[in-house]
Structure 1
Amino acid sequence: MTLLEIRNLKKYFKNVKAVDDISFRVNKGEIFGLLGPNGAGKSTTISMISTLIKPTSGEILYKGESIVKKPSIIQKKLGVVPQDIALYPDLTGYNNLKFWGHSYGLRGKLLNKRIDEVSEIIGLKDKLKKKVNEYSGGMKRRLNIGAALLHKPELLIMDEPTVGIDPQSRNHILDTVLKLNKQGMTIIYTSHYMEEVEYVCSRISIMDNGKIIAMGTKDELIDIIKGQKKISLKFDEFSEDVVEKIKGIESVKDAYILDDEIIISTENGETIFKDIITEVSTTNSSITSIDIQKPNLETVFLHLTGKSLRD
């Protein structure tokens, strides 16, 4: 069943096409990922679905009804975890949850019950008496999620929920996302971390420059570059002419410098090494390590856009 449908959605800010004619559907009970670099249009898309800003044109349907014309259709059914922390630092964790609970119309025993349940989900039950300004970055992120869960939303939107936190808190948040989904919650998850989207999302839409450039399951997206492999070469030192020589090898699709490595795309990952070594031997460089990597979403993004997801 389609829960949310986006049709030809556009949002222009003067001459900037933040979201440029995108369409997709989110099915009930799935985790739908919006993957793309910063500035791709993910947050603007989320803001329109959340009814915070109006689209320039296009339609957003929730259960078949337009939320552009009637925002109230989705507002009580929606939970939003914003990219920026939406908490009061001088209040305790408990009082922050109480405040947000009141904003959803929760009171008395029901509110206390939901605070208790949510604090268990986010793993902060024994930390709620502390003021938020004493929390770590990861704890703040988890409380931010808790605030969005108090009214048991049908659709939860998470906009870059793990930015700037420690690995332990990040893993806790990702596992929480999967648990919530198993309980039946539909989730839209935005990130520029490829490994997060691969881990939690059932379907993925790759965005760049305001457009959706590919969409499908992880396997369907990787199938776009079926047969291609990525080879990482490390050198003691190398110059630009090494890259040009490697690009000249017939079976090399692309080669570029990333940090201290040369990354090669090829469909001939097993027998290409002889040619690489031959070309490198004509320069003053020497290879210190070779690593073959299977295609992933980062490789797909590079193939489609010609740049790294982190660029």
Structure 2
Amino acid sequence: MELATVALFLVAGLASLFMAWVIGAGSSGATPFAPAVGANAISTMRAAFIVGILGLAGAVTQGANVSEAIGSGLIGGVSLPASGVILVLLIGAGLMAIGIKTGYPIATAFTVTGSVIGVGLAIGGSPVWPKYLQVGAVWVLTPFIGGGVAYGIASLLPREGVPEVYSIPLLGALVGAVLANVNFTMLGPNGTAGSITGAVGRSLGVTGLPVTVGITLVAAAGVGGLVGWDVRRDEAGGLRRFLLALGSLVAFSAGGSQVGLAVGPLMPLLDDVGVIPRSPSSRAVDWGSSWVRGPARPG
């Protein structure tokens, strides 16, 4: 490999680290534990430490899908060169750094996705309209769906007729049900991504919708029962621990999505040098010393 190529790879890696640092200072670092820090349930430094650990765990177990979408799913017909990758990362990280400095929230996904599409089209790539429609629909619908769910839950929790010893465990049961059906790397068959319900069903030798529903209800009852026991034993302490648990879950999920925005633009370069082996049915993403595997998706 020529010295100039090695230099470009090093600069691209540094740009990716800059993007990761900006993400940590912005959305991944501030969002998960901001409510807990505001409620004096945890200190800022301790929250940052926990976010780092859980973000790494989320990146290892859930980061492959976002990385592939950013790296190869947004532009057709071309692969970003090293100079293009550097430009994408610097534009995305630069815009986010400006947002952090000025106090205006700028979404990481918006900056990186827009940069990848802009650079890709500039070098002769073709737009991938189905992916754009899918991503756009998620971006448009998420605030309304999330806001509606948040409004419904928040309107019930403060009511005197709904004691917290009942409402909080119910919320915990809902979280447990959702978590049981989230896909994690390596839980599926043959090392692919799969959910906890699917993995438990296969281990028991039974599959199907009734099995999935049954396992989901068991998970919901288990989490709700544990939260209810903790709240009844020590209401203030139980609420604090549940708040920290929710912050940890957000940090874990953020790690799975945000890391792909920092690493995803590098994937075309890793493909070119053969670092990321691919087959029609699988892919592998090298996270330093760890390998993350998940099911292949059409670009």
Per residue, is there more strand in 1 or in 2? 1
Give TM class, smaller chain: under 0.3
Which structure has more relative contact order (CA 8 Å, sep 6+)? It is 2
> TM-score, normalised on structure 2?
0.22
Per residue, is there more helix in 1 or in 2? 2
Larger radius of gyration: 1
> TM-score, normalised on structure 1?
0.21
